[in-house]
Amino acid sequence: MHSNIKQLHDDLKAGSFRALARGVTIVENELEGYEYLLEHLRKNNHTPVIGITGPPGAGKSTLVNALLSHWLTENKKIAVIAVDPSSPFNYGALLGDRIRMSEFYTNPNIYIRSLASRGALGGLSSKIIEITDLVKDAPFDMVIVETVGVGQSEVEIAGLADCTVVVLVPEAGDEVQAIKAGIMEVADIFVVNKADRENADAFYNNLRIMAHEKAGYGIETPVVKTVASDKTGVAALAGKIDEYLANHHQLPEKRLQLLTEKCWQIIQSQRMKSVSHTRLKSELAEALLQDDFNLYTFTKAFTGKVFPGGN
């Protein structure tokens, strides 16, 4: 196994899409060899991650499609990780939105992978950090992560991405207060997509005012108008992304928070490997016979036996 996984990783780093696809599957499903792949990642602080998020129907996939077309003219090699809502039947990814990117599936400079969120609380896949790190180990100029845009996914993507692009549409005008409370905190760039629609200018101006008020004396969050379906404004957006990446190099606090939480989860997972489910069931069955049984004192006592001296 070890030599096969090592060869797979070598092929992945050399740019094999087939090896990368296999590697992502191994990591996503924790198949044999996934720990080797993660533990042998190169430290890579150079491949930027662009987060594209926003509410359903904002045209995120169409915008990603237009950005890919633009960046291909600059001979860039790009990976797209698209996180979809899970099918309630088989936990697969619902691939409808990806059909819009079908023209790129055979392009040697574009790698596209759909992941199911699998019920992850924030809307991102539970393995999104590991998979993004693995994809960054391959020779790409940038990695785009497109999220389903529900719940906490905007906050999570802000911790994962080097530049977070929040895509909105003019109809979102009624959600200005919600935007103020949440998305405004995570957006590095705002996009008003479908800007040819009615009320687009008014919504754009409101966003500009909000961005100005939020900035105070700091740097104002850019607001860009696009019509992704005909690529209007896409070059300007790409320019704003490049500009942001060129001027921001320090580890943001939100990245540190996300990685701290991920590290905590990994530590918990590693510790729980020593917990026997069979032993737990057996001891619980015996404890339930006692008249003074209490689930919480039982759990505390069991934890003390599994992790002596620990908390």
Cα separation, 146 vs 125, whole angstroms: 11
Counting DSSP H helices and E strands in the chain, the numbers are 13, 7
pLDDT in tens, 221-256: 999 999 999 999 999 999 999 999 998 877 667 778
Cα separation, 153 vs 158, whole angstroms: 8
pLDDT beyond 90 at 147: no
Query: Which has more pLDDT, 245 or 57?
Result: 245
Q: What is the pLDDT of residue 9?
A: 95
Residues of the chain with pLDDT > 90, as a percent, come to: 41
Length of the chain: 311
Answer yes or no: pTM beyond 0.85.
no
Please, which pLDDT band fits residue 97 given cuts at 50, 70 and 90? very low
Cα separation, 154 vs 187, whole angstroms: 8
Please say whether the beta carbons of 221 and 168 come within 8 A. no
Instruction: Name, in order, each residue with C-beta under 8 angstroms of 183's C-beta and a sequence gap of 6 or more.
Output: 54, 154, 166
β-bridge pairing 163-168 and 49-53: parallel
Q: What is the pLDDT of residue 240?
A: 97
Could you identify the residue written with the tokens 């404890």? 287
Cα separation, 52 vs 234, whole angstroms: 14
pLDDT in tens, 179-212: 555 666 788 999 999 999 988 998 899 889 888 8
Domains of the chain with CATH codes: 1-40 (no CATH), 43-253 (3.40.50.300), 260-306 (no CATH)
